[in-house]
Structure 1
Amino acid sequence: MPSILPVALSVIVVATTPLLGVAFYYVCIVPRFNPLRKLAGPPVRWLFDNHMSFLLNPYRSPKAHSTFVQKYGRHVRIRGLGPWDDRLLPLDPVSVAHVLKNSTIYEKPWQSRRFITSLIGCGMLAAEGVVHKRHRRVATPAFSIQNLRSIVPVVFTKGNELREKWCEILDSSGNTGEGIRIDVCHWISRATFDVIGLAGFEYHFNAIQNESDELFHAYKEMFEIAVSQSDGLRTVIGIYIPLINEFFPDERVKTVKRCQEVIERVAGKLIQQKKSRIVEGEETGLGYAGKDLLTLLIKSNLATDLPSDQRISDEDILHNINTFMFAGSDTTSLALTWTLYLLAKHPGVQRRLQAELLEAAPSPPVSRLTSDEIESLYIVLSDLPYLNDVVRESLRLIPPVHSSLRVATRDDEIPISCPVRLRDGSISDQKSIPIAKGSLVHVPIEAFNLDKELWGEDAWDFNPDRWGTLPEAVSALPGIFSNLLTFSAGPRSCIGMRFSMIEMKTFLYLLLTNFVFSATDEEIFKANVVLTRPYITGQFKAGSQCPLLVKRYTRQND
């Protein structure tokens, strides 16, 4: 027996030596030749220290970004997960525009894609390159202005249903004074699920009335419990070593698997039914008149002028429906929640917006309007100047997506518009920043939206009036929406931006012409948990919450 031990040790040494050699090369040798190491950046206190807590925490990130610009310029070297992980933090509009425009050079890292795919499959959020182009080409017709116009009555119906539900809650409480406490985050999430269910694939979640639908539960559990309430370290380990999730699944992994089984069964059946109706309509010549995103997606995918190698599979369609559910419900509900929170904290702005919305309101109640009349009403709402300013200001101040990460797939030169500070303290007159293949670029969405040098000294304040006279520097910012990075920019910008605008403006109209919102005594803080979510101080484990005091609007409130 003793003679076996030396042999075993020898085998272990022989087997691990090459691995250790490779690890040493990538951890200690390769980083020394990374051109980013020449840039100025904040120091680290120990070998495995990093700057992520400063940059990803919305409580600390505004000050951190401002400090970094003052000390290190607009191209900052930051530390990621380890000493081998030097990253570029570009706070230069020209540099960020280059990164977002060249999506084939700067892709989402495999870690991000593996995490997204593990939840909602490889839809448009996770796909890259040719696959992403194929998904985007098939989905784009569904998000045309003409098709989205037909969704407006659905949004109004669900917004009005939420209004009626809150009226019931107020009436049953008997409180006619300061209003009652309503968790607007919870209720708006239920309403946006209803909207995307009907507008997405003609599915009735009925989440506003109750939360009993199994498909609603599956999506809700996956987005809330498995994402925002998961153990961050365990999730990271599972991304790098996926076999751990297979053989030693934790509660998060079990929850995701259970939810995915429901989604694949129920939503997968809906896709097959929808596809059969479309094919049957084409064969009979009667057509199929569905206006939901799933119908339009399938029709686009079956179009005769689309080459067969450009089509996507039924599995891909399911993954994109999951993507629409996540992006179309979670991000919009958070944007609406934060807008109501800001209006509650700024009653003067709320009163001014209410006055504009009430002036635009038609005489008959929304419930009596025809679909054409509702579409006409939305056209009026979409052009209201102060509503536009409030929505833009809310999306600027608290973007649901806090930041994003890209990896260089090849060596590149990133253009710059300002001098670069180097590690030795000197200022370089170089015209670009070389970046090596495999290097990560941290795209600071929030930082650009809150940059005081661009937006003015009140950039961290909620001030819708700023949109009347914007500083000239703002016009240089990239972004598909009002020079904001909230919906990103370039080929991977948010395909559902117009859909989100319809939801936000419609819900704000229906809620603010019927209710008044004010803040409670509870302290709300922002946390970046995949998206920027509201939590009550001391109650993080209870999940996203944003309670506000809600009472009926009357002329006496003015």
Structure 2
Amino acid sequence: MSLILYLLSPSVAALLYVCYRILVVPRFSPLRNLPGPPVPKWFGNHLLHVLDPTVSSKVYEILVKRYGRSVRIRGLGPWDERLLTLDPASLSHIMKNTTIYEKPWQSRRLITSLIGCGMLSAEGQVHKRQRRVAMPAFSGQNMRSLVEISFKKGMQLRDVWMHMLPLEAEKADTSPSAQINVGLFLSRATFDVIGLAGFDYNFNSINDESNELFVAYKDMFEVAISQGSPFRTLLSIYLPTVNKLFPDETVRSVQRGKEVIHRVAGRLIQEKKRKILEGEKSGDPYEGKDLLTLLLKSNAATDLPPEHRISDDDILNNINTLMFAGSDTSSLSMTWTLLLLAQNPDIQDRLRAELLSIAPEFPRTLSDLSEDEVQSLHTALSGLPLLHNVTRESLRLIPPLHSTLRVATQDDEIPTLYPVHNKDGSMNEGKHSFPIPKGTCIHLSFEAFNLDKAVWGDDAWDFNPDRWDHLPEAVQRYPWHFSNILSFSAGQRACPGVRFAMIEIKTLYYILLTNFVFREAPVKITKHNVVLTRPYLAGKFKDGTQCPLLVSRFVPPH
């Protein structure tokens, strides 16, 4: 009998601890002093409402009216009480204090299982070392080569679409058009750009999707993230051995992709290191301008202490991070922009006219531009006000990254700009901070701040690029990381590739909009938050990301 009790005691202790964490701890958390919406079921939650981009903006508005801007919501279960902050002062405090507020281990485990421990998932000193090594690669001077790469790939995409269009229209009074899944081709184009700019590797995926490294990355990002089972994903986070013991097709696909990436990208790293070393020995330095070369040079700099350097695995992980964060986000931003322009043809016409205003200097054939002329084109594009406004407005209205999570690593007092409401929902005018206990999960919605009507005005949910010519004072109070919006995050973990993204997408906008006209296709496109905010055809989620538009050649008026 004593042996049975001895064997059972660890299990009983574990069960008691779980019950304590689920039933007792949440009841005594200071977070329960904050107001929040009711949960109709014991295992109910609010995640669907705050994460679904088709309803989340309305949900946030209702929560603010009823409970203020510091709201308690339910996560996965009754043990998972979370803070949803819609207060700019609170968000600024959380994003600034990265040693107190980290990404939850669940998020880090999921990211690391796919692309390794790069800047997206690393924390603490590891993240600081990686960011210190990576930042010189994103300097303005090093971005010059990206201009020409983006230009060449934009021209290649233009030629592919031209060949997809019929030579004659079905009706005499219309231009010939074709229904093109613009999201698919923009994804291929950004993969090509990031491949060349990232590590001098040509996927050539605009014309051919058979490249093994391209297929590996696409399987990782599209199959694993977009098409994977949510239940299986949760299971793999909390019980990772399940994937090893009982792998399904998604798991096997990810594993095959990781093996290809490790083999091919790992070989590229070694080749780059060899070229750099040979250049140092010969006295003729290797002048590669891709980010991999710049990362390796930065990591080997003589003024960088050995303890601050990162390993080859860290280099590979950050290349994978660059592929994910730099490719998907840019292609989705451009996809949403083309859809918004198709829905607003007057703005599309105005933007095209502005782009064509620099055409006398850069002829529409574009093919024969020299490298210096391409750089001049980028300079001209950077000075076009409506192009900048459309780019910012699209990123504001549909940020590719809808929201993110943080967890408190210690007890803290969070400041607020707006009064904190009492538990019953009434306003406490004198209360401008609240305590948060260690271990609390915090939901930060970038979309909520981008679409806040109290900041942006009553038309905050509308696509209105002209708003940027006369921003409300409340908007200008928070510059964040990029142009008063949170689409590139904020604080020390803000996206380092903002300049990279602006060069790429503005160059592609110029080439596409001066050659094509975009109109809505007779389909319904919906938004889904699958790590990033992606377009899908209504009722066809399993078919993957799609955004078909009617595309026709632009014929300038005579």
Q: Do both proteins adopt the same fold according to a TM-score greater than 0.5, normalized to the shorter chain?
A: yes
Whether contact under 8 Å (1:331, 1:531) holds in the other structure is: yes
1:368 alignment partner, SS class: coil
Q: Structure 1 length as normaliser, TM-score?
A: 0.97
* Corresponding position of 2:75: 80
* Aligned counterparts of 2:45 and 2:529: Cα–Cα separation in 1: 17
Question: Paired residue for 1:302, among 284, 300, 303?
Answer: 300
- One-letter amino acid of the counterpart of residue 205, structure 1: F
The one of 313, 323, 327 equivalent to 2:311 is 313
Q: Tell me the equivalent position of 1:408.
A: 408
Structure 1 contact 205–216 (Cα < 8 Å) conserved: yes
Across the two proteins, how many residue pairs are aligned to each other? 552
Task: Show CA shifts across 1:499-529 (max 9, x none).
Answer: 1111110000000000000001100000000
Aligned to 1:382: 382
| Aligned-residue offset at 1:9 | 6.6
- Aligned mates of 1:471, 1:35 — CA distance in 2: 36
Which string of whole-angstrom CA distances, capped at 9 and with x for unpartnered residues, describes residues 318-360 of structure 1? 0000001001111100000000000000000000000000011
Secondary structure class of the residue paired with 1:419: coil
Q: Aligned with 1:525: secondary structure?
A: strand
- What SS class does the counterpart of residue 367 from structure 2 fall into? helix
Q: CA deviation at 1:536?
A: 0.4
Deviations 1:261-286 (A, max 9, x none): 00000010000000110011011110
Residue 237 of structure 2 aligns with which residue? Answer: 239
Q: Does the 8 Å contact 2:166/2:178 carry over to 1?
A: no
Matches within 5 A, 1:466-545: 466-477=467-478, 479-545=480-546
- Deviation larger for 469-478 or 124-133: 469-478
Separation in 1, partners of 2:57, 2:446:
11
Residue of structure 2 in register with 1:441 after alignment: 442
The AA in structure 1 aligned to 2:260 is V
**Could you list the per-position Cα deviations for residues 123-159 of structure 1 after superposition, in whole angstroms to 9, with x for gaps in the alignment?**
0001001000000000000000110122111110001
Contact residue 137 and residue 291 of structure 2 kept, 8 A: yes
Q: Which residue of 2 aligns with 1:3?
A: none
What letter corresponds to residue 29 of structure 2 in structure 1?
N
Identity %: 59
Check the 8 A contact 2:104/2:406 in 1, yes or no: yes
Is the 1:515–1:550 contact (alpha carbons within 8 Å) kept by the matching residues of 2?
A: yes
User: What whole-Å deviation, never above 9, does each CA across 1:426-484 have from its counterpart, x for those lacking one?
Assistant: 43322311111110111110001111111111111101011111111112235211110
1:93–1:476 CA contact under 8 A, matched in 2:
no
Letter in 2 for 1:129: G
Which residue, 58, 61, 73 being the options, matches 1:66?
A: 61
Partner of 1:133: 128
Unaligned 5+ segments in structure 1 are 1-5
Quote the RMSD (CA, aligned, Å): 1.5
Paired residues of 1:245 and 1:253 also in contact (CA < 8 A) = yes
Q: What amino acid is aligned across from residue 197 of structure 1 in structure 2?
A: G
Equivalent in the alignment of 2:247: 249
Separation in 2, partners of 1:194, 1:419:
49
1:50–1:82: 8 Å Cα contact kept in structure 2?
yes
Tell me if structure 1 keeps the 8 A contact 2:476–2:484: yes
Secondary structure of the 1:200 match is helix
Partner of 2:424: 424
Give the residue type in structure 2 aligned to 1:307: P
**1:78 partner letter:** I
Task: Give how far 1:28 is off.
Answer: 1.6
TM (norm. structure 2) is 0.97
Which amino acid in 2 is paired with 1:117? Answer: T
The one-letter amino acid paired with 2:369 is L
Superposed, which structure 2 residues align to 1:35-434 within 5 Å?
35-171=30-166, 177=175, 179-361=177-359, 362-364=361-363, 365-428=365-428, 429-434=430-435
User: 1:15 Cα shift?
Assistant: 3.4
Structure 1 pair 173–112 and aligned structure 2 pair: CA distance change class (3 A): farther
Structure 2: how far apart are the matches of 1:431 and 1:359? 51
1:170 deviates by 1.2
d(CA) in 1 for partners of 2:292, 2:169: 43
Post-superposition offset of 1:20: 1.0
In 1, Cα distance between equivalents of 2:135 and 2:73: 36
